[in-house]
Amino acid sequence: MLLRGNLHAHTTFSDGVRTPQALVAEYERLGYGFLAITDHFDHENLVHPDYEETIATLESELLIFRGIELSYQRLEQHVGRVHGDAETLYILNHPARYKLSVAETVERMHTIRRAGWPLDAVEVTDTGMYRPLYDTDEIPLVKVATDDAHRPPHFGRAWIEVDASRDRDAIIRAIRAGDFRVGFKD
């Protein structure tokens, strides 16, 4: 089954403008199959105590992934962590926002992996806008597109389409294997 999904999105638990339920409704309207909600940790690397349970108990036609946008403090580099049931996906977020060169991106990948976050993927987008510099084999990570939804008009600007069963771990394994394609709104 071909499922369209977004791996990076924010709600009122951090700096998004939609509550989790309202954000889910946006992506249901867009016809998505899955959505990862990845609010930021605050500056003390904590989230609101209700966050995990709120996300875990959302009612939706979408397959919802619990997630978090971590900050690798020493570099202030954001890293998306998306939880399946057994699998976990780590994404090096928007190198374009930090104006990194390809070499710097690769260096960060190694540094963050050594620190214990096993990066799988890199965003070739910045808030849904394609940044082709990072869409290169020189960065040995799977290339994903996300819209990093905070507010309109971010919703639905970039996505991935995965041919997988409607199962969180199957989707993560397909992404890790590069078995998907990216898409962008015209």
The total of other beta-carbon atoms located within 10 Å of residue 47's CB is 16
Minimal distance, residue 9 CB to Zn ion, in Å: 8
Q: Is 123 in the site for Zn ion (CB under 5 A)?
A: no
| Phi/psi at 151 (5° precision) | -160, 165
Least spacing, CB of residue 146 vs Zn ion, in Å: 8
Contact status, residue 36 vs residue 151, Cβ threshold 8 Å? no
Q: 181 CB contacts (<8 Å, ≥6 apart)?
A: 160, 161
One of 148, 157, 164, 171 touching Zn ion (CB under 5 A): 148
Name the minimum Å distance from CB 69 to Zn ion: 5
CB of 27 vs Zn ion, minimal distance in Å = 15
If one asks whether residue 39 binds Zn ion (CB under 5 A), the answer comes out as: no
Contacts with Zn ion, 55-74, as mask; x by CB under 5 A: --------------x-----
- 170 versus 182: smaller Cβ distance to Zn ion: 182
Nearest to residue 157, comparing CAs of 2, 3, 6, 1?
6
Nearest-CA neighbor of 93 among 84, 83, 81, 104? 81
- Interface residues with Zn ion (CB under 5 A) are 69, 148
